[in-house]
Amino acid sequence: MRNIWIICRKELHSYFVSPVAYLLLTMFALIFGFFYWNSVGYFNQVGLESQMRGQAFPMSVNEYVIRPLLSNVSVIGLFFIPMITMRLFAEEKRMGTIELLATSPVRDLEVIIGKWLAAVILYATMMLFTAINFAFLFRYGNPDWKPLAIGYLGLLLQAGGLLAIGTFISTLTRNQIIAGAATFGVCLMLWVLEWVAGYETATWAKVLAYMSVITHFDSFSKGVLDTKDAIFYASVIFLGLFLTSRSMESLRWRS
């Protein structure tokens, strides 16, 4: 446990002393701000129109603003995840510092979890910026906080899985660009897999669609905590970290 925290702190340190973290946070804040602005603007427009027609119907902030925004965040996240994970192992391999970690009395798994945890924490920090925007909804409206909390949980779980896969890909190369590009490709594929379900109903299509990380987010964005989806994300995290540890071990046998 202690070793995990030592590694995690070191990783966070290198995220935050370099421009990496600030660049990611700024870009994310800008993009999300734009999405938020559009979403709230649309909500106001619809609200105004329905009032003008004289037949105002009840509108939920959760339903019209928070839910689509959370879904958007889960997609925007796909683009940021490669940038978070690409350096994790690739840089250590290139700088030779992996030799320090591998010859110190820490287990491979502690190194892996420490690094992954740092990536999750950076992602969670990004999520904090969305919370600033949402805070205004609570100030001027009256949304329900529980679906939002579950939505955040879903985002973290989804990101945790993709970050674990990114961590794994980062162990495969000493070139950060390659690690980043490959992770981006995998993230994108895991997103669009669900499209096959649109025109095909055979079993293989269902399996492919099930593997898509996005479909499992639907329930979370609705504010429903579905164990099936939570378990799916947990398995992705486990698989990613497991592959990373295998890869670390094979690194020793190959290098």
Partner 1 sequence: MITVKGLTKRYARTLAVDHISFEVQKGQIVGFLGPNGAGKTTTMRILTCFLPPTDGASNVAGFDVLEQPLEVKKRIGYLPETPPLYPEMEVREYLTFVGRLKGMSGSSLAARVGEVSERCAIADVSSKLLGKLSKGYRQRVGLAQAIIHNPPVLILDEPTAGLDPKQINETRELIRSLAGDHTIILSTHILPEVEQTCQQVIIINKGKLVATDSVHNLQNRARGAESVVIEVEGRDSALDAKTVQHRLETVSGVSRVVFKETLNNRSSFEVESLQDRSIRGDLARAVVESGWNLNELRPTAMSLEEIFLQLTGAEQAGAAAPPPVEAVAQGRES
Point out which residues bind partner 1 (CB under 8 A).
Answer: 3, 6, 10, 13-14, 17-18, 95-107, 252-253, 255
Q: Between residues 102 and 225, which has the closer beta carbon with respect to partner 1? A: 102
CA distances from 110 to 68, 78, 143, 235, 239 (A): 37, 25, 40, 19, 16
Q: Between residues 27 and 102, which has the closer beta carbon with respect to partner 1? A: 102
Shortest Å distance, C-beta 199 to partner 1: 46
Alpha carbon 198 to its chain centroid, in Å, reads: 24
Q: Between residues 187 and 248, which has the closer beta carbon with respect to partner 1? A: 248
Distance from C-alpha of 229 to C-alpha of 213, rounded to nearest angstrom: 9
Contact 91, 178 (CB under 8 A): no
Q: Between residues 22 and 37, which has the closer beta carbon with respect to partner 1? A: 22
Residue-wise burial string across 96-107, b where 16 or more C-beta atoms lie within 10 A, e elsewhere? eebeebeeeebe
Q: Between residues 40 and 117, which has the closer beta carbon with respect to partner 1? A: 117
Shortest Å distance, C-beta 13 to partner 1: 7
Shortest Å distance, C-beta 111 to partner 1: 10
Distance from C-alpha of 214 to C-alpha of 78, rounded to nearest angstrom: 10
Shortest Å distance, C-beta 6 to partner 1: 5
Shortest Å distance, C-beta 160 to partner 1: 25
Contact 69, 35 (CB under 8 A): yes
CA distances from 142 to 49, 97, 136, 139 (A): 20, 51, 10, 8
